[in-house]
Structure 1
Amino acid sequence: MNAREDAARPEARDGLRCLVTGATGYIGGRLVPELLDAGHRVRCLARSPGRLRDQTWQRDVEVVRGDVTDAVSVAGAMRDVDVAYYLVHALGTGKDFEETDRRAARIFGEQARAAGVRRIVYLGGLTPEGVPERDLSPHLRSRAEVGRILLGCGVPATVLRAAVIIGSGSASFEMLRYLTERLPVMVTPSWVRTRIQPIAVRDVLRLLVGSARMPSEVNRTFDIGGPEVLTYRDMMVRYAAVAGLPRRVILPVPVLTPGLSSHWVGLVTPVPASIARPLTESLRHEVVCREHDIARYVPHPPGHPLGFDESVRLALQRVRDARVTTRWSSASVPGAPSDPLPTDPDWAGGSLYTDEREKAVDAPPEALWQVIEGIGGENGWYSFPLAWSLRGLLDRLVGGVGLRRGRRDAQRLLVGDSLDFWRVEEIEPGRLLRLRAEMRLPGLAWLELCVEHDGTGSATPHDGGRTRYRQRALFHPHGLLGHTYWWAVSPFHAVVFGGMARNIARAAARAPLTRTREREPAR
């Protein structure tokens, strides 16, 4: 039974069978759960399926190994598919990326036609009006060519063309984030005056999902964008306002060529030069929607498309907490489309500084947990008491809580308890204590204390098990002052956090294990 006959069955009429390429990428990883929520069945084609193992939706999809440049694997992935999403491109893979994009698009279109796929959906780049294709940046030129190849492959195609996508993990957004947060005064390339029509990632995903059900006669491109046209300078100024940063001083100069400005971006941000260069080259051109025909086929719900400020607010809303909840044992981060994903690159989601320590402990896990749960208050913080006292005094001098709050109970902690100048954010009895700082800081800070054991049950050093103590301090800086603060105090971390890890391990080894009362439910 082929795809069309199978789709005619009553049980298959509602949900479509969708193939998603690029599921380990920025858009693909966020599109999959949206398709599942819409009632569709999803198959993912990935070169490295293991990269999807920590996605919360991984068990709800079919994952096949393959590459879009390999016709055999693409043919297998296309079998019994109704809609095929093409969400890959070779940006940052080397000088021959245009040829790689061209070959992959041809293979994808040919195999989709051979398999009887009913529609291809592709997300490309918005191109400037009146500029010959040969004068475009290689990045935009290649994306335009891929769109043309897919439109001409014999399968009805929807080609969505977007400019800057606003959402945590988007390379364009991350470049905007780092430039704005790290530089209160900027000497910038002249392309900061370029007019751009950004769009929220939530709107992009909504339009991608809706495009699956377009009428069969539709085979064309659609320009998609948010409700506002802004210069890059406007976006930096408004990002700063939404993020609560002081107003940025931006001084455009004409001498920074796209090549030089990509090196400048590389110095200021962690976005790789192989990605920054094509993005900055593309910013030479004005990218504004010339039509809004997509609304005829995928109507906008109330409140959409989202404005720039709301898009940024959503991108910043949960990213800090979501990145912090990624622990040693799991990279799974469920959440909204604006939130970070396990497959996002390390440079996505803003800066997150960490100090990690690990110690083997000559004691059962219960003894180590007993020390961890008793930390703070009269028991102190197990390292350099003078430094902790001084930090508490400084905090009080600037209007903070200092160390005066102590603890509610000498032995037990509950979620929400104050603990000196920390707050208990999460507690997993016997395993994890996460504290959120409530001292005055130019950013957000957490401290995680974790018990690990490689055996089963309550191990001792004599039964083959091994107890380990793991400690992690995290800091999400706010503006340039936050980065300066971290680097100013980092020389003391070896004494404060290193000593803390050593002394907690020693205290667990020599402390008698006491029976604790039955634990109350965590608040």
Structure 2
Amino acid sequence: MKPLAVVTGATGYIGGRLVPELLDAGFAVRCLARDPDRLRDYPWADRVERVRGDVLKPQTLGPALADGDVAFYLIHSLATGAGFEQTEEIAARSFASAAKEAGIGRIVYLGGMAPEGTPPAELSAHLRSRLRVGRVLRDSGVPTVELRAAVVIGSGSASFEMLRYLTERLPVMITPRWVRTRIQPIAVRDVLRYLVGAATASSEAVGSGGVYDIGGPDILDYRAMMLRYAQVAGLPRRLIIPVPVLTTGLSSHWVGAVTPVPASIARPLVESLRHEVVCRDRSIRDLVPDPPEGLIGFDEAVRLARTRVQEANVTTRWSSASVRGAPSDPLPTDPSWAGGSLYRDIRQTEVDIPPERVWRAVEAIGGETGWYSFPLAWAARGWLDRMVGGIGLRRGRRDPHSLRLGDTLDFWRVEAITRGSLLRLRAEMKLPGLAWLEMRVEATADGRTRYSQRALFYPHGLFGHVYWWAVAPFHAVVFGGMMRNLLRHAAEDEDQREE
């Protein structure tokens, strides 16, 4: 019988990549998620057991952890609101207690590398919370391997996206002084190798557990990372001028203005760069030996990540785990909306274009393709969202051609997808209410194709109603243009294929 690995955070950046590695290593895998349906479209979904569970709801954890041999705790918050540290600690205690009761043989946790000799009070709230979660798990009585990493370099990681866009977009940079802080980055492939290795190591080697720093072979400051990225990418040498006046807050807004990573996510990343984070020892080698070819260096990690991006082969992204909508939020299918108001912009037409061509245009929406109408209006909405602390349009999409449940798409998220017929997006921009954009494709009885499009808005308070009526005059241009241009794109695609 195969050993059973229980993975939390499987919808996240690391978790989504770890699952196939565990399967290849001979594990049976059970993925614990608040919404297991979000795992439906992953290429490995049919090879794993998907169960519903929430670390903040202890009663859901027992069945999810039952009979498990090793449990991976890969749940991290990038929230910035008050109380997130307490929430993360409560979640970790709940999980640790359930793992102990279920008889889990080992916990593997990926946390953040701590600067040596720095008092907890001087650390960023996010790093302090990571360290506290590690302590809670280690105190559970279950042998716990805590791996601590600094900057992870891999296609789709927030750290890589930040590095990539800063370097590619700014030939001359006036930068904060943290660009001189030494860091030991690590390739995501080596992170995954350490995680699997921590699960497969012998009980004698693991003992009661321990804390291990993990990093790549290179120790660099952020300035050197940008210069070496430019070199690998074949860009002219960048001019980088550090200045002491850019605070963490200003730095995060600067990153948010230049990169797809919004300021709210950039802030904890920037805060982690204030302190030197270098492996204090390499005792991890006693648990997981280095591969014969050695660890992946920074330049090779960048090359591998850039190749993935260029080939549109990014399997997971940093944005995958960020969900603003609450499970209790109403859905467009809820009957009568419990008496609430629901504004609609509904459009429908029939065309002589095969359904599969229309669907291809639907699934290509957003990212580099755009939204098929009034680009300036969409760009302005993205800029406005950034100005008020939202995510804007720059998140783009994971893959230029296909979507899966839970994917982010600029400032939307795929909430429902039935390939070939339905795409429903939930808005994640700053709004005084909830919004959806829904597109349907279906064949008619007379051999034509019916395309239906709905924009739905559920207002919160008086300002939500005011907002809808303020933007309603533009709907004919934005949503009407979207329908016309999407179908025109589908028709042109058909003509090109016939040629």
| Amino acid paired to 1:85 | F
Equivalent residues in 2 for 1:287-298, closer than 5 Å: 287-298=277-288
Measure, in 1, the Cα distance between the counterparts of 2:109 and 2:82: 23
- Measured after TM superposition, the shift of residue 169 of structure 1 is 1.9
- Measured after TM superposition, the shift of residue 145 of structure 1 is 0.8
**Aligned residue number for residue 363 of structure 1:** 352
Cα 1:169–1:364, aligned 2, differ >3 Å: closer, same or farther?
Answer: closer
Residue 72 of structure 2 is aligned to residue 85 of structure 1: yes
Q: Secondary structure at the match of 1:55?
A: coil
- Measured after TM superposition, the shift of residue 342 of structure 1 is 7.4
Paired residues, what number?
364
**Aligned residue number for residue 446 of structure 2:** 463
Residue 13 of structure 2 is aligned to residue 26 of structure 1: yes
- Measured after TM superposition, the shift of residue 466 of structure 1 is 1.3
Contact 2:35-2:52 within 8 A present in 1 as well: yes
Which one is further off, 129-138 or 112-121?
129-138
| Amino acid paired to 1:108 | F
Residue 317 of structure 2 is aligned to residue 317 of structure 1: no
Cα 1:502–1:205, aligned 2, differ >3 Å: closer, same or farther?
Answer: closer
Measure, in 2, the Cα distance between the counterparts of 1:275 and 1:507: 38
- Measured after TM superposition, the shift of residue 73 of structure 1 is 1.1
- Measured after TM superposition, the shift of residue 82 of structure 1 is 0.4
- Measured after TM superposition, the shift of residue 498 of structure 1 is 7.7
Contact 1:241-1:247 within 8 A present in 2 as well: yes
1:229 to 194, 213, 219: 219
Cα 1:364–1:104, aligned 2, differ >3 Å: closer, same or farther?
Answer: closer
| Amino acid paired to 1:169 | G
1:191 to 174, 178, 183: 178
Q: Secondary structure at the match of 1:85?
A: strand
2:442 to 454, 461, 472: 454
Equivalent residues in 2 for 1:256-295, closer than 5 Å: 256-295=246-285
Q: Secondary structure at the match of 1:45?
A: strand
Measure, in 1, the Cα distance between the counterparts of 2:289 and 2:158: 28
- Measured after TM superposition, the shift of residue 237 of structure 1 is 0.7
**Aligned residue number for residue 57 of structure 1:** 44
Residue 328 of structure 2 is aligned to residue 341 of structure 1: no
Measure, in 2, the Cα distance between the counterparts of 1:279 and 1:362: 48
Measure, in 2, the Cα distance between the counterparts of 1:346 and 1:219: 28
Cα 1:507–1:168, aligned 2, differ >3 Å: closer, same or farther?
Answer: closer
Contact 1:26-1:170 within 8 A present in 2 as well: yes
What's the CA shift string for 1:147-184, capped at 9, x where partnerless? 11111110000000000000012111211111111111
Contact 1:29-1:343 within 8 A present in 2 as well: no
Measure, in 1, the Cα distance between the counterparts of 2:76 and 2:356: 52
Q: Secondary structure at the match of 2:134?
A: helix
Cα 1:368–1:99, aligned 2, differ >3 Å: closer, same or farther?
Answer: closer
Cα 1:295–1:505, aligned 2, differ >3 Å: closer, same or farther?
Answer: closer
| Amino acid paired to 2:65 | M
**Aligned residue number for residue 444 of structure 1:** none
Contact 1:359-1:501 within 8 A present in 2 as well: no
Q: Secondary structure at the match of 1:128?
A: coil
* Structure-1-length-normalised TM-score: 0.64
| Amino acid paired to 2:172 | V
Measure, in 2, the Cα distance between the counterparts of 1:468 and 1:180: 42
Contact 1:361-1:468 within 8 A present in 2 as well: yes
Root-mean-square deviation over aligned CA pairs: 3.3
Q: Secondary structure at the match of 1:74?
A: helix
Measure, in 2, the Cα distance between the counterparts of 1:298 and 1:507: 51
Residue 138 of structure 2 is aligned to residue 154 of structure 1: no
Measure, in 2, the Cα distance between the counterparts of 1:504 and 1:42: 40
* Structure-2-length-normalised TM-score: 0.67
What's the CA shift string for 1:288-332, capped at 9, x where partnerless? 00111111121121223100000011101022332xxxxxxxxxx
**Aligned residue number for residue 29 of structure 2:** 42
- Measured after TM superposition, the shift of residue 213 of structure 1 is 2.5
| Amino acid paired to 2:77 | A
Contact 1:121-1:208 within 8 A present in 2 as well: yes
- Measured after TM superposition, the shift of residue 88 of structure 1 is 0.4
Cα 1:146–1:359, aligned 2, differ >3 Å: closer, same or farther?
Answer: same
**Aligned residue number for residue 295 of structure 2:** 305
Measure, in 2, the Cα distance between the counterparts of 1:239 and 1:285: 22
Cα 1:51–1:93, aligned 2, differ >3 Å: closer, same or farther?
Answer: farther
Measure, in 2, the Cα distance between the counterparts of 1:146 and 1:126: 13
Q: Secondary structure at the match of 1:283?
A: coil
| Amino acid paired to 2:14 | I
Contact 2:30-2:50 within 8 A present in 1 as well: yes
Cα 1:94–1:76, aligned 2, differ >3 Å: closer, same or farther?
Answer: farther
Contact 2:106-2:199 within 8 A present in 1 as well: yes
| Amino acid paired to 1:236 | M
Measure, in 1, the Cα distance between the counterparts of 2:493 and 2:26: 54
Measure, in 2, the Cα distance between the counterparts of 1:364 and 1:133: 62
Equivalent residues in 2 for 1:386-401, closer than 5 Å: none
Measure, in 2, the Cα distance between the counterparts of 1:507 and 1:116: 56
Measure, in 1, the Cα distance between the counterparts of 2:58 and 2:140: 15
2:233 to 240, 243, 247: 243
Contact 1:126-1:287 within 8 A present in 2 as well: yes
What's the CA shift string for 1:357-415, capped at 9, x where partnerless? x996643639989xx9xxxxxxxxxxxxxxxxxxxxxxxxxxxxxxxxxxxxxxxxxxx
Measure, in 2, the Cα distance between the counterparts of 1:58 and 1:88: 19
Contact 1:27-1:87 within 8 A present in 2 as well: yes
Q: Secondary structure at the match of 2:50?
A: strand
Measure, in 2, the Cα distance between the counterparts of 1:165 and 1:367: 39
Measure, in 2, the Cα distance between the counterparts of 1:507 and 1:293: 57
Measure, in 2, the Cα distance between the counterparts of 1:361 and 1:42: 45
Measure, in 2, the Cα distance between the counterparts of 1:64 and 1:343: 23
Contact 1:359-1:502 within 8 A present in 2 as well: no
Measure, in 2, the Cα distance between the counterparts of 1:171 and 1:368: 34
Contact 2:142-2:208 within 8 A present in 1 as well: no
The higher radius of gyration belongs to: 1
Runs of 5+ unmatched residues, structure 1: 1-11, 323-334, 348-357, 373-430, 432-451, 470-493
Measure, in 1, the Cα distance between the counterparts of 2:351 and 2:39: 37
Contact 1:359-1:505 within 8 A present in 2 as well: no
**Aligned residue number for residue 54 of structure 2:** 67
| Amino acid paired to 1:194 | T
2:90 to 95, 103, 110: 103
Measure, in 1, the Cα distance between the counterparts of 2:145 and 2:93: 16
| Amino acid paired to 1:199 | I
Equivalent residues in 2 for 1:112-261, closer than 5 Å: 112-216=99-203, 217-261=207-251
Measure, in 1, the Cα distance between the counterparts of 2:288 and 2:7: 20
Measure, in 1, the Cα distance between the counterparts of 2:158 and 2:137: 24
Contact 1:203-1:305 within 8 A present in 2 as well: yes
Measure, in 2, the Cα distance between the counterparts of 1:140 and 1:363: 57
User: Percent of aligned pairs with the same residue?
Assistant: 58
Contact 2:181-2:274 within 8 A present in 1 as well: yes
Q: Secondary structure at the match of 2:200?
A: coil
Contact 2:176-2:245 within 8 A present in 1 as well: yes
